[in-house]
Amino acid sequence: MTVSYRQPGVVLTDRHFTVPLDHDDPTAETIQLYGREVVASDRARQDLPWLVYLQGGPGFGANRFVGRQAWLGRALEEYRVLLLDQRGTGHSTPANRQTLPLRGGPAEQADYLARFRADSIVRDCEAIRPQVTGGAPWTVLGQSFGGFCTVTYLSKAPEGLAAAMLTGGLPSLHAHAEDVYRAAYPRIERKVVAHYARYPQDVERARRIADHLLHHEVTLPNGYRFTVEAFQSLGILLGGAEGSHQLHFLLERAFVRTPRGLELSDAFQEEVQGLLSYAGHPLYALVHEAIYGQDGRPTAWSAERVRAEFPQFDAAKTLTGDAPLLFTGESVHPWMFDCDPALRPLRETAEHLAARTDWQPLYDPARLAANEVPVAAAVYHDDMYVDTAHSLETARAIHGLRPWVTNEFEHDGVRAGGPRVLDRLLALTRDEV
């Protein structure tokens, strides 16, 4: 059953689809996908081309816009839009600590989750496209991991695409997870240095919080074990347009004086647990490194192993001197499955995924070199989440791709930049600039 309803300036329709869990065995088990169709109110009865949006992540459902927020207003000038909740996310069949035990034990859960990478997401798109467009190709907009999926789409099923646009989402075609994080830690350090240059008072604040956590056991109200490593991981904020400011405002109210002395304030702890918890997006933690698995090597907790090559991120060593504490960024570590109550039951499942060696290639360099689909990509200079050098190497490898390299935005430019980013990408795909 489809249900339509209205928000200011738009008509929304809930769309539900059934797809195979394993597209190589279409007669076996199925899962449900959810998509929210959006069309401008004054164009609701028109026959419009389709744009499908692939959210970043992995593990996040599509944006829940109200009206014509961010890039959506620009898209609705020309398209009927499908905001797709990729498998396992949003309102699609969930995959979390509550539902995964239905699969069996940790090994069976890992086998299930191995089908939640970009290759399966692209096959989902191709399975539902005839139901949405009547068989016509559609335009895809991929943000971050959604851009990774778009490169897979260009590799596996370019006939389904009228055009492709990527924002902060051009992956390396060949890099192992180790290579990704070896390139990431220096970028993260630069972002932290830039944050302290903007807010020098945060140097002492961050050191005081880290020192407190090294000498006290702190459990947040939701049961999260708040360690110094968890505190450092709040650096993930620094990859967004407002993240440095958000981190600053968080740090400035960390402590409160109590009869027992200084303690971390309730307000600080409440905000921190919302930032750290994976309860709403556990797939991010479970399959994050698996999105880089292609060459038969296990990912084997690459971010954790590579971090040891950068001792400046060791908080305990930092606090023996007077250097600023370094935050970390977009990476997943084994300790998260001990600290986060939403992830603890899935620790063994994560270990199975980290040990897998049967990952199949996600990209086809030969097919990309012969690409004929109009493609444009926003590459954000010194993007904290996606290495610029990797992105530009891939841009050169995809025939006809037009990159737009800009330092005006951080990784979330397609949101923060409103219609400007999408307007530029559309023009690039049409050779209008």
Q: Are strands 402-406 and 375-380 parallel, antiparallel or unpaired?
A: parallel
Report the pLDDT value the prediction gives residue 324, as an integer from 0 to 100: 98
Residue 381's SS3 state is coil
Q: Is the dihedral of CA 398, 399, 404, 405 positive or negative?
A: positive
What is the residue type of 268?
Answer: F
Q: Tell me the CA distances in angstroms from 430 to 29, 151, 359, 419, one per residue in order.
A: 41, 19, 36, 17
Copy the structure tokens of residue 158. 């370019």
Structural domain boundaries of the chain? 3-173+363-429, 177-355
Rounded to whole angstroms, the Cα distance separating 39 from 12 reads 7
Place of tokens 């798109």: 125
Q: What is the phi/psi pair of residue 112, to 5°?
A: -65, -50
Q: Are strands 10-20 and 30-40 parallel, antiparallel or unpaired?
A: antiparallel
Report the pLDDT value the prediction gives residue 344, as an integer from 0 to 100: 98
Q: Tell me the catalytic residues.
A: 144, 358, 411
Report the pLDDT value the prediction gives residue 289, as an integer from 0 to 100: 98
Residue 94's SS3 state is strand
Copy the structure tokens of residue 354. 């980290």
Class of domain 3-173+363-429 as given by CATH:
alpha beta
Rounded to whole angstroms, the Cα distance separating 362 from 16 reads 26
Closest CA to 178 of 337, 329, 297: 297
Each residue's pLDDT, cut to its tens digit, for the chain (433 residues) gives 678 999 999 999 999 999 999 999 989 999 999 999 999 999 999 999 999 999 999 999 999 999 999 999 999 999 999 999 999 999 999 999 999 999 999 999 999 999 999 999 999 999 999 999 999 999 999 999 999 999 999 999 999 999 999 999 999 999 999 999 999 999 999 999 999 999 999 999 999 999 999 999 999 999 999 999 999 999 999 999 999 999 999 999 999 999 999 999 999 999 999 999 999 999 999 999 999 999 889 999 999 999 999 999 999 999 999 999 999 988 999 999 999 999 999 999 999 999 999 999 999 999 999 999 999 999 999 999 999 999 999 999 999 999 999 999 999 999 999 899 999 999 999 999 8
Copy the structure tokens of residue 112. 């299930």
Rounded to whole angstroms, the Cα distance separating 120 from 24 reads 10
Write b or e for each residue in 130-157: b if 16 or more Cβ atoms lie within 10 A of its Cβ, otherwise e: eebbeeebbbbbbbbbbbbbbbbbbbbe
pTM, rounded to two decimals: 0.97
Report the pLDDT value the prediction gives residue 3, as an integer from 0 to 100: 85
Rounded to whole angstroms, the Cα distance separating 310 from 303 reads 11
Q: Tell me the CA distances in angstroms from 95 to 87, 119, 137, 301, one per residue in order.
A: 9, 17, 29, 21
Rounded to whole angstroms, the Cα distance separating 400 from 376 reads 9
Cα angle for residues 185, 186, 190 (degrees, 5° grid): 115
Q: What is the phi/psi pair of residue 228, to 5°?
A: -65, -35
